[in-house]
Every structure is written in structure tokens, then in C-alpha cells.
């Protein structure tokens, strides 16, 4: 649980010595200093918001403490490695989804990078031609619940226009640590609801959904007999 020492009903101010100790402890455990999100979940440091109020932010605190590691983790080697890992994971994840879709619906009925209009920007990752109307898929891999909510809000904004809702759209969440029960809880609590035809699914639930849909090639084969 987050360590928060109260005094007279108010949150106390952390000393530089305590903050330095907490940051160094994290560094010894992980080989690097924490990001703002990691600080919020770390028992031996205050919240990132408290650091913002008291010192002007995490970057400024690192500078004040003269930490040897790079102060701004949004730049430099850490940022490059993070971007590389995200891109590699995205490629692996989309390939897994594509191979599954092809195996069930047939490669000729799975369209990668489906553009809604010809602006080369408003696109879904996949469009599947199947026995119904067909559906779009937007794949993402949130690192945690907080990141998931941010991603979902971004997608709801992206897919709000009428031309982006011509077909059902499935927001496919691929983190195995976030199950459908958690997704349903998030949806129920959100003020901004999913629109008609929009669905948020985990990978296991999505596969069940696909198996419930009749591949178009079956209908084509049956009609030709």
C-alpha cells in the first residue's frame, strides 16, 4: 500500500533525504529510476502529484538530487529502448491477430489497414469480411489499467464520426493480465460510453466471438454447389 504519513489530518512533506532514499532503493531493485506512473505504485515514495506540487515535477526532483542516471526518461537511451520495445510488441501482437483471423476466416477475407476515407489516417488495423456485415478491429496492448483507460478514451474520440461507424468496431485489448471482467467494470464506470456498434474485448473473448461468426468462404462454397 502507498506510504502516506499524515500529520494533523494533512499529508506531510517528504524530505529530500527520504526521496533520495526511495529513488535509490527503486534503482537498486530495477536498475533504473522510476517513471511517474511507477512512483504512484511504489510504497517508499509519495505520489507523483505530490512531487509536482513540492518540487515542480519528477524531472526537477532528479536534478535537485543530482542523480547520476539521466534525468528525463522521455529522451535518450531509455526512450529509444522503450519505443523499440513498444514497436516490437505491436508488430508481434498484430501478427498474432492476423494469423488467427486468416486461419478462421480465410486470408482473402482479412483486410489489413482498412481506411475509412482516403486520407491515409483514419484507419482500423483490420477489416474482416464475414457472413454478416463485416467488422473492423483496432488492436492495442495497454501496459496497465490506467494506460487502458487513456487508450480507450483516445479510440472513442477517433471513432466518434459517423463514417467511422459504418461497420461494427472491436477494440481488441491484448494484455493477458487484463481480463474481460476488468474491461466490463471499466466500461460500466466510464462517463463516456461506447457507442452503438463499438465493443471492447479481451483476446480470449474476441476468439470466442470470431468462432461464433460464419466465415464468408463457407457461404461462398455452399452457394456454388
Report the chain's mean pLDDT, rounded to a whole number.
80
Mean pLDDT is highest, among 90-94, 123-127, 156-160, 194-198, for: 194-198
| pLDDT for 192 | 87
pTM exceeding 0.75: no
Least-confidence region, from 118-127, 162-171, 207-216: 118-127
The radius of gyration of the chain from alpha carbons, rounded to an integer in Å, stands at 23
Amino acid at each position: 500500500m502507498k506510504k502516506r504519513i499524515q500529520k494533523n489530518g494533512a499529508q506531510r512533506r517528504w524530505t529530500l533525504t527520504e526521496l533520495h532514499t526511495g529513488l535509490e532503493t527503486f534503482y537498486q531493485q530495477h536498475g533504473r529510476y522510476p517513471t511517474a506512473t511507477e512512483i504512484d505504485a511504489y510504497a517508499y515514495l509519495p505520489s507523483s502529484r505530490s512531487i509536482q506540487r513540492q518540487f515542480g515535477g519528477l524531472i526537477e526532483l532528479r536534478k535537485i538530487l543530482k542523480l547520476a542516471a539521466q534525468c528525463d526518461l522521455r529522451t535518450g537511451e531509455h526512450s529509444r529502448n522503450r519505443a523499440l520495445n513498444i514497436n516490437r510488441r505491436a508488430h508481434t501482437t498484430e501478427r498474432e491477430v492476423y494469423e488467427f483471423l486468416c486461419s478462421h476466416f480465410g486470408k482473402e477475407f482479412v483486410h489489413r489497414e482498412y481506411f475509412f476515407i482516403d486520407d491515409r489516417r483514419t484507419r482500423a488495423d483490420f477489416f474482416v469480411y464475414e457472413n454478416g456485415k463485416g467488422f473492423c478491429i483496432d488492436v492495442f496492448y495497454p501496459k496497465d489499467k490506467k494506460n487502458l483507460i487513456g487508450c480507450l478514451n483516445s479510440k472513442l474520440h477517433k471513432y466518434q464520426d459517423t463514417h467511422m461507424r459504418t461497420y461494427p468496431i472491436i477494440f481488441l485489448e491484448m494484455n493477458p493480465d487484463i481480463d474481460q471482467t476488468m474491461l466490463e467494470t471499466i466500461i460500466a464506470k466510464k462517463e463516456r460510453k461506447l457507442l452503438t456498434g463499438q465493443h471492447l474485448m479481451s483476446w480470449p473473448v474476441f476468439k470466442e466471438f470470431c468462432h461464433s461468426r460464419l466465415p464468408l468462404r463457407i457461404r461462398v462454397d455452399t452457394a456454388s454447389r
